[in-house]
Structure 1
Amino acid sequence: MQKTILDRVERVADDVVSLTLQGDEGPLAPWEPGAHVDLALPNWLTRQYSLCGDPGDPTSYRIAVRHDPLSRGGSEYVHLYLRPGRTLEVSLPRNHFPLEPAPEYLFLAGGIGITPIVPMLRAAVAAGARATLVYAGRSLASMPFAAELLAEYGERVRLFPTAERGRPDFAALSPRAEVYCCGPASMLAAAEAVFPRVHAERFQPTRRVFGPDTAFEVVCARSGQTIQVPPDESLLDALTHAGRPVSSGCREGVCGSCELAVVDGEPDHRDDIGAPPGRIYACVSRSLSPRLVLDV
């Protein structure tokens, strides 16, 4: 974890605040567009937020947080209690949504899904690529960074306050561009129905059906401890209850904070990230083999 000082809290849209975090012990870890960090809140909750500042600035991170009326305590705490000067810990950046080199990009953002797209658009333009942003939200007042994006990038940016203009027609957009999309499930589904390939980051996991949960055992390679994982318990919880706690955030397989290395066995991947070879996300994934050896 990295220690930071909350430098600024700015309202950037209805129910959205931007937090600027300054490194408290020197430069912060580098990051690339699409990355996110875990923010450890003083109320003992950890939440994941996309970095939306400047990757070229090693002195600070910027995130944006929408106040969710159904908050489980994360966004509510940020909006009601966080003030400049507070010391906060953030993780090293992780990136499951990297920007790949391309001559042309189409960025699709819905609401708070604009946050990972902001540095992507900046990087694409700086690289000399053709880039278009289609940004939808309920109203202009509810769309963070809309005014500054329009002022900076002009005709590259197309704003769709849906209460006035309706939803954008993706079928009328360029099929040749690399498509990057972050937003609600309905936007991702609409994009995937039109474009042959979509780089997507999801707010919530895709609804999928898996086989019945079965028991398996986990061997902790570092200590040799064997832990039984029953059908009605997650791998993450079994490790925690056995005294081998793993850092976690979303507990839904979309953030990647509970990633573990697999030494032996066949994981049953149930995440929405796409676990790389030799990795497993303990919050949702299980095992296809009776025994799983983890680097724990």
Structure 2
Amino acid sequence: MTEFDVLLERKEIIAAGVARLTLRHPGGEPLPTWEPGAHIDVILPDGMVRQYSLCGDPADRSAMHVAVLNEPNSRGGSRYVHEQFADGDSVRIRGPRNNFPLVDVPRYRFIAGGIGITPLVPMLAAAHERGVEWQLLYGGRTRTAMAFAEQLRDSYGDRVIICPQDETGLLDLPSFLKDAEPGTPVYCCGPEPLLTAVEQLWPREHLHVERFTPVADTGERTAFEVELTQSGRTLRIPAGKSILETIEEAGIAVLSSCREGTCGTCEAVVLDGTPDHRDSLLTEEERAACDTMMICVSRSQGPRLVLEL
């Protein structure tokens, strides 16, 4: 993935606890192309890497926009962005990449919780431009904390249902989905309780979710071997370490970012063996294909894997 510096042209507060960053190429050159659902990695000065969804216009290659929620209980990435980033700073980024692509169909349902609205903003614009049927259900703790809420209502009217929890309570997911035509793709992004609730209501084959946090890993951890075809090495992966950690300790350079199975940076091609998938990204169909895996969290179902690394 491409890694480069951009100029933070402007940081602005667009909702309670939410800062939008406008990023441009320092030389005025066009930025990389991207499609709705894509994110970038922001690489902080201490080496911390965080993923933020692009929420601007894919057609505008002069700038990229991300919106960052200041999470007081996070590991410090969002706090650094809010407290240390300033207009004019140079910011190191990587990407874009897309683990949450918008399929081309005649109708959609979108569900967002809190900052989960960010990847959906360009999706709504794309769906509206194509003239297809769609609706958005958008919930948040308070109206003032819901980024883009007024903008979306002004742009799309009644297609957007705004539900601040302190005014309307929890999202009424069954009512929102009950009249959706079977097979309609549902796109959902937000906190884990929301994603879990939607997964219980809509068929997984027509559900597209993006998670901020990893799925709890309760699987058994046993040792196995990994053959790396490009490096010409075979490594023993102990029960207490990941494939990624073991590869790094062997001095082999691999790209990684979240290290918890949510970003897709460390995805590796599987040439032989059966992965034990423990990520939050791959669909059931992708898992069944057994041709890629996230080496930061996933393991092996058998004694050996062969990876194209």
How would you bin the TM-score normalised by the shorter chain? over 0.9
2:213 counterpart SS class: coil
> Deviations 1:89-110 (Å, cap 9, x if unpaired)?
2222221111112222111000
Aligned to 2:32, which of 29, 45, 49? 29
C-alpha distance in 1 between matches for 2:215 and 2:245 = 22
> Deviations 1:189-228 (Å, cap 9, x if unpaired)?
2222333332111122233532x21112222222312222
Higher alpha-carbon deviation: 195-204 or 45-54 = 195-204
2:97 counterpart SS class: coil
C-alpha distance in 2 between matches for 1:228 and 1:168 = 47
Normalising by the residue count of structure 2, what TM-score does the alignment of the two structures yield? 0.90
- Residue pair 1:40, 1:47 contacting (<8 A) in 2 also: yes
1:182 counterpart = 2:189: yes
- Residue pair 1:5, 1:23 contacting (<8 A) in 2 also: yes
Aligned to 2:221, which of 207, 213, 217? 213
> Deviations 1:62-104 (Å, cap 9, x if unpaired)?
1111111112121111000001222222222221111112222
Query: Aligned-pair distance for 1:151?
Result: 1.3
Normalising by the residue count of structure 1, what TM-score does the alignment of the two structures yield? 0.94
- Residue pair 1:2, 1:28 contacting (<8 A) in 2 also: no
2:96 counterpart SS class: coil
C-alpha distance in 1 between matches for 2:213 and 2:150 = 27
C-alpha distance in 1 between matches for 2:174 and 2:222 = 43
C-alpha distance in 1 between matches for 2:269 and 2:109 = 34
C-alpha distance in 2 between matches for 1:175 and 1:130 = 11
C-alpha distance in 2 between matches for 1:266 and 1:156 = 44
- Residue pair 1:175, 1:195 contacting (<8 A) in 2 also: no
**Which residue is 1:82 aligned to?**
85
2:171 counterpart letter in structure 1: P
**Which residue is 1:46 aligned to?**
49
1:189 counterpart letter in structure 2: T
1:240 counterpart SS class: helix
Count of residues in Structure 1 that have an aligned counterpart in Structure 2: 295
Percent identity over the alignment is 46
**Which residue is 2:127 aligned to?**
124
CA RMSD of aligned residues (A): 1.6
C-alpha distance in 2 between matches for 1:208 and 1:127 = 40
Aligned to 2:7, which of 5, 8, 23? 5
Query: Aligned-pair distance for 1:140?
Result: 0.7
Aligned to 1:92, which of 73, 89, 95? 95
1:292 counterpart = 2:298: no
Q: What is the 5 A alignment of 1:238-257?
A: 238-257=246-265
2:92 counterpart letter in structure 1: E
Q: Which runs of 5+ in 1 are unaligned?
A: none
Aligned to 1:283, which of 279, 291, 296? 296
> Deviations 1:202-259 (Å, cap 9, x if unpaired)?
122233532x211122222223122221111111111111111422222221111111
C-alpha distance in 2 between matches for 1:110 and 1:170 = 12
**Which residue is 1:258 aligned to?**
266
1:192 counterpart = 2:203: no
After superposition, the Cα gap between the structure-2 partners of 1:295 and 1:195, relative to the gap in structure 1 and judged at 3 Å, is closer
1:58 counterpart SS class: coil
Aligned to 2:212, which of 203, 212, 218? 203
1:206 counterpart letter in structure 2: V
